[in-house]
Amino acid sequence: MFPQRLDSPLAYDIAKAMMDGFNRHYQLFRTESARAKHRFETADWHGQQRAQRERIEFYDLRVREASMRLESEFKGGEQTMNVWQQVKLHYIGLLVNHQQPELAETFFNSVTTKILHRSYFQNDFIFVRPAVSTEYIENEEPTAKPTYRAYYPSPETLQANVVKLVQDFELRCEFEDLARDAGYVVDALQKRLGDAKLRANFQIQVLSSLFYRNKGAYIVGKIINGFNEVPVALPLLHNKHGKLVIDAALFGEDDLLILFSFARAYFMVDMGIPSAYVQFLRSMMPRMPRAEIYNALGLAKQGKTLFYRDFLYHLRHSTDKFRIAPGIKGMVMLVFDLPSFPYVFKVIKDYYPPQKDTTREQIKGKYLLVKQHDRVGRMADTQEYSEVAFPRERFDDELIAEIEKFAPSQLEISDRDGDGKVEVIIKHVYIERRMIPLNIYLQEAFDAGVDEPVAKEQIERAVVEYGNAIKDLVAANIFPGDMLWKNFGITRHGKVVFYDYDEIEYITDCKFRKVPVPRNEEDEMSGEVWYSVGPKDVFPETFGPFLLGNDAVRDVFMQHHADLLDAAFWQNHQSRIQAGHVFDVFPYEQDKRFAHAKDISVA
């Protein structure tokens, strides 16, 4: 129980110091996000990518600063339980009228868990459950922007309202022809609405800040008509003349889910009240967990907190057991899952076969690279956790034996809290969205018969998407390394996503070569590699034997992606990247783009 009186000035000072640390963090986070507008206006694409990468590190830096201050000024780790109970109560008091209370609670947890013994990891001392509601938070400042703006057009003023809602973002760039683009949007909207009558409440609501990512800025909102709500996003891009255009109109939850996908880089958005943005977005994408929405907005630590709460809630309301994940076992990662939970858990093994010349730290470095890089919709985001405790009775014995065999350093089985509950503690784990492994997806089609129309269509869709995924990765300066089908997965939207990162390299660090002409007949007949191969050498023409053993797969691949077997394809992209070119990789299909799309380069 909490003490009834808050009679410790020291506790208040500690709470105030932590709140100061959080406020500093969010001010810096928000300032960097707001600068995305200027980078977009000036087409500073390298600066935009650099800022997206560096902003990820802000949180840990501020937590470290706050922890050091609490230790140096207040000897935080030496304070009693009574003091720390009061610290939390004082902190809750400081959250009254705060505009980011949920983020501040998570910051409090991050700092205290660095300082305190794990016996304090309960709701008396940290925010195991949220203490402050995020409903209906408003910024009462006269100059503050509302969370969203509403427009009430009639059929006659619809185009003019689209022009106005774009102009209200006050971009300091000239549009090539905004009225023309607004006309495209209206045509697309009318096609979407069909014969539906415009009701009295017909309106367009758009979030007050643009969503910036890479070379694009996105207007995000929804159209309300009667009882129907239609999510909408309008991508703004620079054309080859440096003028702005509305590139497409994206409608519906599925289009928005792809735009906000876990396989894409985080947005830069200037948000005074992030929970209000999350609530608005959740109304448009009810199938997207709040944790993933916070991630997409760049608030990954809050996403991590919510994910873990969702996970614990799921454990309490399920009875199935963790098991070794289906599919071909990896040489570097041990993967397990809970069938009822749509994520997989990946643990770095202690031992690797000789062909895997790597270390645990190198593998962690690859995962960090992916976290900080532009994932272009083709690399799964991961959440990284340490010291994760699971109930022992929920683990399949075969899985325990697998971990004991391949990753014993990462496993502890104990009753460490002394409460009689035996737990499986995983020292370090990555968690990511579960997908259907591409090799299993293809095998299902093979089993059905490659001449069956449905199976044939499945094979073609998978192989075309696989090649598209590799080309998008190339555009993002990523060479997957191990390109086998088993290292790619199919998402619920049919997109192919890469998820095995231990061999990825930057395209610019690789040396793409053609296989040399044999010097003699002995070379030609040799089953061994008779030419020199450097550590970064890649021979694209050798991909075929590993990937194209099935005739049906080969036919589709050679029709759509034969260029991936040619060293010249890789060399050309490498040269352009080295020259500073930033490719366009669109989070929507080409057929959704408007007529002027030819003025914008395509990766």
Q: Would you name the residues annotated as active-site residues?
A: 381
* 9-34 and 81-94 helices, crossing angle to 10°: 50
The whole-angstrom separation of Cα 349 and Cα 360 is 8
Give the position of tokens 């502890």: 412
Place of tokens 């009186």: 5
Phi and psi torsions of 511, nearest 5°: -120, 105
CA atoms within 13 A on the CB side of 528: 4
In what helix (H) or strand (E) does residue 538 lie, and over which residues does it extend?
strand 537-538
**Amino acid at the residue 597:** A
* Residue 225 to residues 153, 178, 221, 228, Cα–Cα distance (Å): 11, 25, 13, 5
**What phi-psi label fits residue 59: left (phi over 0), alpha (psi between -120 and 50 degrees) or beta?**
alpha
From the CB of residue 382, how many other CB atoms can be counted at a distance below 10 Å?
Answer: 21
CA distance 218 to 324: 40
Does the CA dihedral 571-576-580-581 come out positive or negative? negative
Provide the β-strand partners of residue 512.
Answer: 538
- Output the DSSP codes for 383-448: EEEEEEEEEGGGB-HHHHHHHHHH-GGGEEEE-TTSSS--EEEEEEEEEEE--EEHHHHHHHHHHH
The angle that helices 453-475 and 551-561 make with each other, rounded to 10 degrees, is 40
Q: Measured between alpha carbons, how far is 597 from 590 in angstroms, rounded to an integer?
A: 9
**Polymer length of the chain:** 603
Q: Which residue's structure tokens are 């891009």? A: 237
CA distance 410 to 347: 8
With contact defined as beta carbons under 8 Å apart, do 585 and 377 qualify? yes
- All residues at 6 or more sequence positions from 559 whose CB lies less than 8 Å from its CB, including other chains: none
Q: Which of 348, 349, 358 is nearest to 405 (CA)?
A: 349
**Which residues sit opposite 496 in a β-bridge?**
490
- 480 vs 540: CA distance, rounded Å: 12
Q: Considering only CA atoms, which of 285, 264, 282 is closest in space to residue 274?
A: 282
